[in-house]
A and B are shown apart, each in its own frame.
With several copies, the nearest count.
Chain A
Amino acid sequence: MKKEGIELIKDGKRLDGRDFDELRPIKIEVGVLKRADGSCYFELGDNKVIAAVYGPREMHPRHAQDAKMAVLKYRYNMAPFSVDERKRPGPDRRSVEISKVSREALEPVIIKEFYPKTEIDVYVEILQSDAGTRTAGINAASVALADAGIPMKDLVSSVAVGKIDGEVVLDLNAVEDNYGEADMPIAMVARRNTITALQMDGRMTKEEFDKGLKLAMNACRQIYELQRTALIERYSEM
């Protein structure tokens, strides 16, 4: 599905000047919304996303409650103006799948047993998109969950790797994603080396995959530190 005709690597650098293993600039703000129980604004290059957490709160309808633990819900949503061609409001197949994968990315760290019969709602809004919104969303959601005081075993960090002009590189931007050969978003509990989300499309050899996975895992560890720092700053302010 990748298109050809654009040189994405020149003189060993990517079009935006990054090295192969270099993340785009990241900005994290915690507790940016008043009404939500927890929230986080997350920038990854030109991606701007915001996550809010509500709950644990009573679950409706009742027959969907789980008597043993909280139910985690996750809604990934793109603002209509977040992409070049206006996105029609409402869920589409892509956002339904991303919501599922993102929820499963976070589920392993949440101690759901503390709040039976309740639901914990994670809402992620993509305000501006430049490839990588699902990973930015998971990063934001992870921090927002912590900000909401949801009991968690650890934070989840997420990033994509991909293949452009035959090279395995970290954190594709939109041009690289459109003209590249493969894209692989992952999520990870950075301090436990556990992969909680993994998707891949495009074409890669096993060796490229192994290399990409290592690259992504390293980057997740960097992101983890930024998430942690942002939370510490937030709570030292308070």
Chain B
Amino acid sequence: MGLEIMDDVRRDYIYNLVKRGKREDGRDFRDYREIKVEKDIIKRAEGSARVKIGNTEVLVGVKLEPGEPFPDSPDEGVIITNAELVPLASPEFEPGPPNEDSVQLARVVDRGIRGSEAIDLSKLCIEEGEKVWIVFIDIHVLDNDGNLVDAAALGAIAALLNIHIPAERYGLSSSEGEDTNTLPIRDKPVAVTMVDVGGEILVDPNYNEEKAAVSGLTVITNTDGTISGMQKYGREGLAEDKISEMVEIGIEKADELRRRFL
């Protein structure tokens, strides 16, 4: 009960701020918090990135291992995206198998990478129908102060850039030229998440703003401005024009993030 009252108080506080054109941390409605991206920080991974957006911190590691292709695409590599909301990152996260929040986080990030066809999966075939490279994208959340999706998506694409395929480790020498051992990345999908608080669109909601919002939208867009993934959240609906506006903001902010960090 105590906690529920706290929720109401926080919601009112955020709502009243927004109504006066303000945000808790002084940002403009369209501004991200400070972003830091560090690449290649995990030796054991083929690629990795640590992304901080304000106090939110996400570590993404990418590993490649040989494995079986899906029966319906025998000559293509496989992407497996997984998110762990480890209890270290928030008092609300509990140990255990993936729940709907971690599943959704992984699947939204995954969808952006797939939709943009950022990874050329046809280059990841080792032996048709038998063996292909499995690309494991593991999202490890370290500190949750809101907007995990944007941090995870940015970390995923940052970690994917510049990956060396570990052919030697698995005794799979590549007969052809040396650059066949680099994972080819064809696009740079970037996620931008917005929430609706009191009818206003806030970009990059922090934890309290997420809790105060009644609905939200993630828009994932590509270098050419096309959309490669979307997901609506929350217990209330969104009007058509609001969605359209969010998509426009999404394209614009993604472009900015892409130029600054990728």
* Cβ–Cβ contact A196 & B116, under 8 A: no
Contacting A104 at CB < 8 Å: which of B48, B61, B233? B233
| Cβ of B43 under 8 Å from chain A | yes
User: What is the size category of the interface that chain A forms with chain B?
Assistant: 35 or more
Q: Which residues from B are CB-within-8-Å of A79?
A: 42, 59, 61, 84, 138, 140
Q: How far is the CB of B116 from chain A (nearest CB, A)?
A: 7
A81, B227: Cβ atoms closer than 8 Å: no
C-alpha spacing A81/B50, complex, angstroms:
13
A39: chain B residues within 8 A (beta carbon): 88
Task: Report if A222 contacts B (CB, 8 A).
Answer: no
B181: Cβ under 8 A from any A Cβ = no
A82 is contacted by which of B42, B62, B144, B225 (Cβ under 8 Å)?
B42
| Contacting pair A201 B61 (CB below 8 A) | no
B244 interface contact, C-beta 8 A: yes
A200 and B111 CA atoms in complex are apart in Å by 8
Which B residue sits closest to A106, measured CB to CB?
A: B235
| B238 contacts chain A at the CB level, 8 A cutoff | yes
What residues on B are CB-neighbors of A97 within 8 Å?
100, 103-104, 107
Cα A100 to Cα B251 with chains together (Å):
26
Docked pose: A99 CA to B225 CA in angstroms: 30
Q: How far is the CB of B106 from chain A (nearest CB, A)?
A: 7
8 Å CB contacts to B: which residues of A187-206? 188-189, 192-206
Beta-carbon nearest neighbor of A123 in chain B:
B88
Q: How long is the Cα–Cα vector from A89 to B90 in the complex, in angstroms?
A: 18
B235 engages A197 (CB within 8 Å): no
| In contact, B251 and A202 (Cβ under 8 angstroms) | no
Residue in contact with B239 in the complex, picked from A50, A75, A81, A195, CB distance below 8 Å: A195
For B55, list chain A residues within 8 Å (CB): 34-35
Q: How far is the CA of A79 from the CA of B97 in the complex (A)?
A: 14
Q: Is B248 an interface residue (CB 8 A)?
A: yes
Interface residues of B in 94-121 (CB under 8 A from A): 95, 97-100, 103-104, 106-107, 111, 114-117
Contact of A213 among B88, B116, B142, B243 (CB under 8 A): B243
Question: Contacts A34-B145, A129-B44: A189 and B227 contacting too (C-beta < 8 A)?
Answer: no
Chain A to chain B: the 4 pairs with minimum beta-carbon distance, closest first? A81-B61, A194-B237, A200-B230, A123-B88
Q: List 20 additional contacts besides A90-B97, A96-B103; criterion CB under 8 Å.
A: A35-B91, A52-B88, A77-B95, A80-B136, A81-B45, A82-B61, A83-B44, A89-B84, A99-B100, A101-B231, A127-B140, A198-B232, A198-B243, A201-B228, A203-B227, A204-B226, A205-B227, A206-B251, A213-B243, A217-B240
